[in-house]
A = this chain, B = another copy of it.
Amino acid sequence: MKNDKVLLGHGSGGKLAAELIRNYFIGHFGNPEVFLTDSAVLKFGDAELAFTTDSYVVDPIFFPGGNIGKLAVCGTVNDLAVSGAEPLYLTSGFILEEGFPLLQLEEIVECMAKEAASAGVKIVAGDTKVVPYGKCDKIFINTSGVGLMPKKNRHISFGEKCKPGDKIIINGNIGDHGTAIMASRSQVQFNPPVLSDCSALNGLIDTILKNSDGVRFMRDATRGGLATVLCELASNRSFGISLNENEIPVSEQVNGFCEIYGFDPLYLANEGKVVIVASAEESDKILNIMKAHPLGQNSAIIGELGSEHAKQVTMKTSVGGNRMLDLLAGEQLPRIC
């Protein structure tokens, strides 16, 4: 322990990352109730705000379907939105490597501005640091965000309202972001190309929450993928989660890529996917609301909560077996976001 070092897996969103958060950050900063969720929800007089932060170190910085700037806006907007908040303001902190082309910086900043405008948020403060050549890799961006919690109770982060019988819904194909990044790195060419699903989900989520009170839990499935979100949700709960592999939307291209390269789409990062736990009664209505939205056309009910196998996530595989899912143990894809 004494000579332990940071491993790539500490940034994976999986087991090691959870340990790091528990031992170091919660250990010293306290506040486990807020530190483990996407956003901290804080009271300011009558208002309640959600507050969140994320740093983006994706490699490559330009990828099919987006770039690091688009990711930095969408990712933080999504963290606020899945907390039930209306994302309002972002800050942007840039760490630039000496020699980074200003034209690329401009393209990234332009994209951030466009994405922020389309998501209805303002970028209101910023900071720029430059480090000597070789001391960082091109550009890292931190975005922090604040959003307003609507008066109507939309605190849905922890999943404590979830119960057996609830349905699990996802708003479309999984693994596109991870595949787009990995394909860029390995110079795999798809025809048509696999695009990152990177997108701001606050519009979709707002539509769902305004039209149904059946949402019990929401989280964006980023690092660690769908499996990690569900494993975290089930841990320490009195319910289990059962998935149906046949219902989980994955494109043929992503499936093929995963088979060849040995990845598992369940653990691949997404940047435009939200996992929703909905009450059984409202689940079809919510599914239809989602399907009617441009970012939810391929939505599907992929499983449900049950009283058996508490704390565990199991998946009925397409060949009829049962597979137990666990948190990612190491790091599948460094610098995926």
The interface of chain A, by Cβ under 8 A from chain B, is 1-12, 17, 20-21, 24-25, 27-31, 34-35, 39-40, 42, 44-47, 49, 51-57, 59, 88-89, 91-103, 105-106, 109-110, 112-113, 116, 122-132, 134-137, 140, 142, 144, 146, 148, 331, 334-335, 337
Contact = CB atoms under 8 A, between A and B. Distances in A.
B142 A101 contact: no
Nearest to A98: B8
B146 A140 contact: no
A123 B31 contact: yes
B105 A24 contact: yes
B53 A130 contact: no
Contacts of A95: 55, 57, 95, 140
A71 to B, nearest CB: 12
A25 B99 CA distance: 18
A231 to B, nearest CB: 18
A3 B99 CA distance: 10
A48 to B, nearest CB: 9
A76 B103 CA distance: 29
A125 B34 contact: yes
Given A95-B57, A126-B25, A146-B49, A6 B105 contact: yes
A137 B135 contact: yes
Contacts of A136: 57, 135-137, 140
B91 A144 contact: yes
Contacts of A97: 6
Given A11-B130, A134-B134, 12 more contacts: A3-B103, A5-B98, A35-B125, A45-B47, A49-B146, A52-B91, A53-B144, A55-B94, A55-B95, A132-B334, A136-B137, A136-B140
Contact of A126 (B29, B46, B47, B94): B29
Contacts of A125: 34-35, 39-40, 51-53
A335 B131 contact: yes
Given A106-B24, A125-B53, A112 B6 contact: no
Nearest to A136: B136
Contact of A109 (B12, B29, B101, B112): B29
A47 B48 CA distance: 10
A116 B56 CA distance: 25
Contacts of A98: 5-8
Select the residue from A17, A95, A99, A106 with max chain B CB neighbours within 10 A: A95
Contact of A55 (B28, B99, B129): B129
Given A29-B123, A91-B53, A126-B35, A137 B148 contact: no
